[in-house]
Structure 1
Amino acid sequence: MSETQTAMKVSGFTFLRNGEVLGYPFVESLKSLLLVCDEVIVALGQGEDNTRALVEGIGDPRIRIIDTTWNEKMTDRGYVYAQQKMIAQFNCSGDWAFYLEGDEIIHEDDAPKIRAAMEKHLHNPEVEALAFDYLHFYGCPDLVAQSPAWYRRAPRVIRNTIRSWAPDGLFWVVMDKNKRGRYPRAALAGCPLYHYGHVRSAEKMNEKNRQVSKYWKHEAKPHRYNQIDASILQPFKGRHPAGVQQWLKDYAEASFTPDPSYQLSKRERRHRRMMVLERWLGRDLTKKHYVLVD
């Protein structure tokens, strides 16, 4: 590693609780984060399973666990997730902070590209974040969901020398003025992140819905993978990250058949209309939580 490279420090961070019970590939996620980062901060909530032992079992000294307590009374729009995310981020000491959720994986082939993008923009203050393309696997490892319902790009790396916070778990707001916030200015990372949250076993998915719905004031409804607009599902023609392939064999749903009698929701009909309009205009009309810069 060159002198320039060693001068840059990259922090990774995430939050976890009951990752084993809820079927997250969090060990695989953390291992992929270690391909890029010099330290990884894990805000670990008090749980009832072996999540802590499994994280410790990775055996890498770059991982630092911070024990946390979740506010069980915070049920407004998932804000408890933002609280946990920021506990981890506020303990990052690198030039960049890389947030990866417990069901997201970095492909080993992309790790050098990500590090190179951070090096490229390290001394350019106009670039405050890096945004990634997303592969959202659905129902089984062979299908990807592609529609406005599934964010196509998201910032996951933030410059750690600016005032930022997360109003929920998915995006950041930069506070460069005392009373007003804005989305970060982001360059493209040039590679995707692999999202496996919707291929976990149906049993684990239902347990996840049961446990987390209260933080969004939602009713915990049974999840059935086959209840979806099949037109948004596309075959995956790439290669899964090496680190998640065993998890996919052991814990993911192996096959998936959409229900041909499924009735589209009002939201899904709207998204179909949006996709037609996108094809006509040649533009991505989805909401973006960043401002793209060159």
Structure 2
Amino acid sequence: MKVSGFTFLRNGTLLGYPYIESLRSLLLVCDEVFVAVGQSDDDTLARVRGIADPRIHVIETVWNEAMRDRGYVYAQQKMIAQFNCSGDWAFYLEGDEVIHEDDAPKIRAALERHVDDLEVEALVFDYHHFYGCPDLVAKSPAWYRRAPRVIRNSIRSWAPDGLFWVVMEENKRGRYPRAALAGCPIYHYGHVRSAEKMQEKIRQVSRYWNHQPKAHDYSQIDASILQPFTGTHPQGVQAWLAEYAEPAFKADPAYRPSKRERRHRWMMKLERLLGGLDLTKKHYTLVSRP
């Protein structure tokens, strides 16, 4: 079995991504890793090359600055990297996502277990969405609880955006992939980077969604969705957290939840009443457990 990894990056340092830590964690699982690096205003390309692992293959790209429709430029960059993968599986990890070293053997074992089961087209991971600081995670229907991050590399798939895949069974029709659970989480650190880096990230990426950039303030959140994180962070990201994560966070007690957030509160109550029902949107069809 051969496992390919892939991702895309641009201005990773300038925007405060733990992308080196992310790539090193991906190397714990993959036999090759393709990184589409867009023209940047910082040292992203040099730092990726500086990992100096022969399994990493850099693809220098130019982003389509005219593409401002719902983040589709991310899909374009994602697919540039994916189309270079040659393994049985293609493992996509975003620049603010990290694999725990304890989970790497479990992931490899799950892929080995399903490699000959053609009904399983993808592997779905649970998520720890850290928010505001490394000690809190966000849990509500606004934050996807699970997402596919590995796709079988022998099927026709494409990405409408950076988050998920569509499998094309016919030329004019697509569906979400059939998936098994990985049985372990992805550690998502995009919302613990410093407030300054987060503001710069919002300023730069808003144009690709045809949005006007807004002022960012971590404190403006419904605190009822935040829960203490009781696990351990991956060893490879701990130095980054100590140096680059937002050092202090406190939710604004005067914050008034939006209509959407109030609706999510009711959804979470319903989930608890119905014994753990998951009402979040799913970009996959579950066909197998771990």
TM-score (norm 1): 0.97
Matched, 1:278 2:261: no
Tell me how far apart the structure 2 counterparts of residues 186 and 96 of structure 1 sit (CA, whole Å): 13
Q: Secondary structure at 1:188's aligned position in 2?
A: strand
Question: Which residue in the other structure is 1:238 paired with?
Answer: 231
SS at match of 1:273: helix
Cross-structure match for 2:166: 173
> Match for 1:222 among 203, 215, 220?
215
| Mapped partners of 2:257, 2:105: distance in 1 | 41
Give the deviation of 1:59 after TM superposition: 1.0
* Structure 2 SS opposite 1:60: coil
2:287 pairs with one of 272, 279, 293: 293
Q: Which residue does 1:135 correspond to in 2?
A: 128
What's 2:42 paired with? Answer: 49
Alpha-carbon RMSD: 0.5
The share of aligned pairs that are identical, in percent, is 78
Quote the residue 2:74 is aligned against.
Answer: 81
| CA distance in structure 1 between the aligned counterparts of 2:107 and 2:117, rounded to whole angstroms | 16
Partners of 1:139 and 1:116 lie apart in 2 by: 33
Aligned counterpart for 2:147 among listed residues 151, 154, 175: 154
Which residue is equivalent to 1:5? none
1:94 matched to 2:87? The reply is yes
1:248 is paired with a residue whose SS is helix
Distance across 1 between alignment mates of 2:52 and 2:21: 13
In the alignment, what sits opposite 1:254?
247
Measured after TM superposition, the shift of residue 215 of structure 1 is 0.5
What SS is found at the alignment partner of 1:81? helix
Query: Partner amino acid for 1:84?
Result: Q
Instruction: Name the amino acid aligned to 1:126.
Output: E
Unaligned runs of 5+ in 1: 1-7
User: What is the correspondence of 1:263-274 to structure 2 with a 5 Å cutoff?
Assistant: 263-274=256-267
For 1:259, give the aligned amino acid. Answer: D
1:19-68 Cα deviation digits (max 9, x unpaired): 00000000000000000000000001001100011111111010000011
Q: Secondary structure at the match of 1:161?
A: coil
TM-score (norm 2): 0.98
Total equivalences in the alignment: 287
Unaligned runs of 5+ in 2: none
Query: What is the alpha-carbon distance in structure 2 between the residues aligned to residue 131 and residue 89 of structure 1?
Result: 17
- Runs of 4+ in structure 1 off by over 6 angstroms are none
Distance in 1 (CA, whole Å) between partners of 2:215 and 2:194 is 13
